[in-house]
Amino acid sequence: MADLEQRVATLERDMSALKDRVGAMDADLKAIPDLIKTEHRFTNSQIARLSSEVARLTSDITVLRDLPAKVDAMPRVIAELVSEMLGDHRKKS
């Protein structure tokens, strides 16, 4: 009889532990929709940030695309400035 009581006590402890684990799993499962919503908001935030960065990079590329023409024009512009300054200097002399 004592063996039977010991087995019943063991089964009751096991059943209690199982109920605790099931309760913890239920709590975890209830949190999943909130985690999905949080991840969705985070992903949307990242997409918005990336979109903003792409727009900024596109604008930077447009500026850089015009740069070679500006660099090529610099010697002519500098020569014109030097000629103008020399002309002004000659007029004053």
| Amino acid code (one letter) for 58 | T
Encoding tokens for residue 28? Answer: 């975890």
* Residue 35 structural domain: 1-67
Q: Name all contacts of 66-74 with Cβ < 8 Å and 24+ positions apart.
A: none
Say how many domains are in the chain.
1
In a domain, 61, yes or no: yes
Encoding tokens for residue 22? Answer: 């099931």
Model pLDDT for residues 36-92, shown as the tens digit of each residue: 999 999 999 999 999 999 999 999 998 888 888 888 889 999 999 999 998 888 887
In a domain, 40, yes or no: yes
Place of tokens 């009751």: 12
50: Cα within 13 Å, side-chain hemisphere? 6
In a domain, 82, yes or no: no
The distance of Cα 91 from the centroid of its chain, to the nearest Å, equals: 61
**Is the pTM for the entire model greater than 0.85?**
no
